[in-house]
Structure 1
Amino acid sequence: MNRRQLAVGALATSAGLVLFLALGLTDGLRHPQAAVESTRPVEFLAIGSGFFLLTVGVLVLFLASVELPDPDA
């Protein structure tokens, strides 16, 4: 298990979750029909960044915890 990858994955996942929590508390997450009319570009950027951080974080956590076979062996 690579501890540095594990730490980076946990940090990215936590950052994504905190971003979504902040969006939820500030009413930044809305139904898609309501979002078209009242969502600012900054909120769209925050939602996209949250999804990106969560995806990367989960993938890095997965790769840190799974030992892949060595292709040279």
Structure 2
Amino acid sequence: MACHQKDGKGMNGTLAADFTTGRLNEKSDEELLKSISEGFTGSIGSMPAWKGVLSEDQMKAALAYVKKTYNPAQ
């Protein structure tokens, strides 16, 4: 959670999403898992790919944790 911070609000000036806004509901779990697995680059930074570092089950568990812990709309 280093980039997204312990409170889930992300870091200013980075691509790290603020998990507390409810925006997680704008994307499907499949889209979110693809972002975790493959990473991506945007206009303000990039998110590293976790494929090969985390197993698919670990990525699913991380997503479930984030949605349960930080997503107010869940």
Fold match by TM threshold 0.5: no
**Which structure has more helix as a fraction of its residues?**
1
Q: TM-score, normalised by structure 2?
A: 0.31
With a CA cutoff of 8 Å and minimum separation of 6, indicate the structure with the bigger relative contact order: 1
